[in-house]
């Protein structure tokens, strides 16, 4: 698949895997994107996940026939992109790996790549392919410490690694059209919040570093190639990395017997009635098809208020909800308003503990929350008042 005479797409779609990193649901799969820069010399930029050897090598053969690959640029060592390095090195024994100093020990440790096979590059170094050349910019912690991007000035193309990536397979076109951004927007936010969300500051640093480039094509490692929506994609990353949000409520709850769930639903109805934007996520493990923590994180990156429901469980927070709270704190999320609710039977503890966790993350805790005994009823729980509080 040619993106231009010199740049070819050789990535693959994975619609088999159900959980990315064994953790994040993939309702519409994910793509592992790899690219060829074809000139007097040929560079392959990143590989794809193992299991796709045949498809990958077929795409490469279709693109360059029996020409040799001179360089394999390793922008990022996470195995979804690096796990076919050995496979490619075996097929192209003369190939040289292009990587930075932080990548080298990882190449050795994962794939026993001998040092003499590696051309070490640093910030702004250049590797000529003939009529065009590759340049490298380090973007540490987007999303590992060794991560870099590759810039091809003559094509105004940025090979951005995971940055600007998204969940979801790509269709045959690969390149975006006017509608693609809206189509992928939610999945892009979910990808960012799940995978990169912790690294807002490094993303900011990377965006500043790349802002001088006149980018016309973004080739990330997951999702569509961006040509027609670059400003939208970049400004979404700007916004997400600054943890910027709009007014609205992300309701997240877990419930064993439906009582905390009933309170969550009642709150959703009251928000709905007031036209307050909201999302609702059930974290209990029995709801196949739900996005769980993954979807909840996405919406915490959208809305300024988090309403968390948990029953009291062994004098504490219901474990799936505790996991979610941990995910919030590890993503260094700030500037959020917080409200807790939940059912108990003999002595409530979850709401107080949720509020303590929220306070420790510097969230603004709104009121003392709603800890209610046994069943949810309208008499016990004035969700209209809660909706007003969260307005």
Ligand X SMILES: Cc1cc2nc3c(=O)[nH]c(=O)nc-3n(C[C@H](O)[C@H](O)[C@H](O)COP(=O)(O)O)c2cc1C
Query: Is 315 an interacting residue with respect to ligand X (CB under 6 A)?
Result: yes
Interface pick for ligand X out of 259, 294, 305, 371 (rule CB under 6 A): 259
Smallest gap from residue 196 Cβ to Fe ion (A): 8
Q: Which of 144, 149, 146, 120 is nearest to 134 (CA)?
A: 149
Residue 160: CB atoms within 10 A of its CB come to 28
Is 147 or 260 the residue whose CB approaches ligand X more closely? Answer: 260
Query: Is 314 an interacting residue with respect to ligand X (CB under 6 A)?
Result: yes
Binding segment for ligand X (CB under 6 A), chosen from 191-199, 213-221, 251-259, 272-280, is 251-259
Q: Which of 115, 90, 89, 88 is nearest to 103 (CA)?
A: 115
Q: Is the peptide bond before 377 cis (omega within 30 degrees of 0)?
A: no
Binding segment for ligand X (CB under 6 A), chosen from 7-15, 68-76, 258-266, 330-338, is 258-266
Is 72 or 261 the residue whose CB approaches ligand X more closely? Answer: 261
- CA–CA dist 226, 215 (Å, integer): 10
Out of Fe ion, ligand X, none, what residue 187 binds, judged by CB under 5 to 8 A for its kind, is none
Q: What does the per-residue mask of binding to Fe ion show for 137-156, with x meaning CB under 5 A?
A: ------x-------------
Is 119 or 141 the residue whose CB approaches Fe ion more closely? Answer: 141
Binding segment for ligand X (CB under 6 A), chosen from 92-100, 120-128, 141-149, 311-319, is 311-319
Query: Is 8 an interacting residue with respect to Fe ion (CB under 5 A)?
Result: no
Smallest gap from residue 44 Cβ to ligand X (A): 52
Q: Which of 82, 53, 76 is nearest to 165 (CA)?
A: 76
Binding segment for Fe ion (CB under 5 A), chosen from 74-82, 106-114, 290-298, 357-365, is 74-82
Smallest gap from residue 312 Cβ to ligand X (A): 4
Tell me which residue has tokens 């951005």: 160
Conformational region of residue 362, where left means phi above 0, alpha means psi within -120 to 50, and beta covers everything else: left
Query: Is 255 an interacting residue with respect to ligand X (CB under 6 A)?
Result: yes
370 bridge partner residues:
341
Structure tokens at 25: 């649901």
Cβ-contact 30, 222 below 8 angstroms: yes
Range 344-363, binding ligand X (CB under 6 A): 344-348
Query: Is 336 an interacting residue with respect to Fe ion (CB under 5 A)?
Result: no
Tell me which residue has tokens 């639903």: 265
- CA–CA dist 146, 149 (Å, integer): 10
Query: Is 103 an interacting residue with respect to ligand X (CB under 6 A)?
Result: no
The DSSP 8-state label assigned to residue 195 in this structure reads: I
Query: Is 287 an interacting residue with respect to ligand X (CB under 6 A)?
Result: no
Query: Is 256 an interacting residue with respect to ligand X (CB under 6 A)?
Result: yes
Residue nearest to Fe ion (CB): 78
Is 86 or 323 the residue whose CB approaches ligand X more closely? Answer: 323
Smallest gap from residue 128 Cβ to Fe ion (A): 28
Query: Is 236 an interacting residue with respect to ligand X (CB under 6 A)?
Result: no
Question: What do you get for the CA distance between the two ends of the chain, in Å?
Answer: 49
Is 324 or 344 the residue whose CB approaches ligand X more closely? Answer: 344
* Whole-number Cα distances in Å, 366 to 175, 374, 384: 45, 23, 15
Binding segment for ligand X (CB under 6 A), chosen from 12-20, 92-100, 165-173, 343-351, is 343-351
The site for ligand X, by CB under 6 A, has a size of 19
Antiparallel, parallel or unpaired: β 126-128 and 118-120: unpaired
- CA–CA dist 387, 391 (Å, integer): 6
Please report the DSSP string for 261-325 in residue order: HHHHHHHHHHHHHTT--EEEEE-STT-TT--HHHHHHHHHTTEEEEEEE--EETTEE-HHHHHHH
Q: How many residues does the chain have?
A: 391
Interface pick for Fe ion out of 14, 39, 49, 78 (rule CB under 5 A): 78
Binding residues for Fe ion, rule: CB under 5 A, are 78, 80, 143, 162, 221
Site for ligand X, rule CB under 6 A: 255-261, 311-315, 343-348, 374
């Amino acid at each position: 698949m040619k993106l231009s005479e010199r740049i070819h797409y050789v990535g693959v779609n994975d619609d088999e895997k159900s959980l990315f990193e064994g953790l994040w649901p993939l309702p519409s799969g994910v793509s592992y994107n790899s690219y060829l820069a074809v000139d007097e010399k040929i560079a392959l930029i990143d590989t794809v996940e193992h299991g796709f050897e045949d498809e990958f090598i077929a795409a490469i053969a279709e693109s360059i026939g029996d020409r040799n690959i001179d360089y394999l640029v390793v922008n990022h060592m996470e195995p979804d992109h690096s796990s076919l390095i050995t496979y490619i090195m075996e097929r192209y024994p003369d190939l040289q790996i292009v990587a930075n100093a932080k990548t080298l020990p990882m190449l050795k440790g994962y794939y026993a790549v001998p040092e003499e096979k590696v051309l070490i590059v640093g910030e702004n170094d250049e590797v000529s392919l003939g009529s065009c050349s590759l340049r490298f910019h380090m973007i540490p912690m987007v999303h590992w410490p060794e991560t870099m991007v590759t810039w091809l000035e003559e094509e105004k193309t940025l090979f951005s690694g995971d940055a600007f990536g998204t969940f979801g397979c790509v269709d045959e076109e690969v390149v975006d059209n006017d509608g693609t951004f809206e189509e992928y927007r939610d999945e892009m936010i979910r990808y960012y919040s799940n995978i990169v969300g912790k690294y807002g500051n490094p993303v900011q640093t990377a965006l500043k570093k790349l802002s001088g480039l006149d980018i016309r094509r973004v080739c990330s490692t997951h999702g569509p190639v961006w040509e027609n929506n670059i400003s939208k994609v970049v400004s979404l990353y700007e916004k997400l990395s600054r943890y910027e949000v709009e007014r609205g409520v992300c309701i997240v709850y877990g419930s064993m017997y439906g009582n905390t769930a009933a309170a969550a639903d009642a709150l959703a109805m009251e928000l709905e009635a007031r036209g307050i934007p909201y999302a609702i996520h059930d974290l209990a493990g029995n709801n196949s098809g739900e996005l769980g923590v993954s979807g909840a994180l996405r919406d915490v990156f959208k809305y300024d208020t988090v309403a968390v429901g948990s029953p009291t469980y062994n004098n504490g927070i219901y474990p799936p909800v505790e996991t979610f709270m941990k995910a919030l704190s590890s993503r260094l999320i700030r500037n959020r308003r917080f409200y807790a609710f939940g059912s108990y039977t003999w002595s409530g503890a979850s709401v107080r503990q949720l509020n303590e966790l929220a306070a420790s993350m510097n969230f603004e805790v709104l009121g003392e929350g709603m800890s209610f005994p046994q069943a949810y009823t309208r008499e016990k729980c004035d969700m209209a008042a809660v909706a007003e509080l969260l307005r």
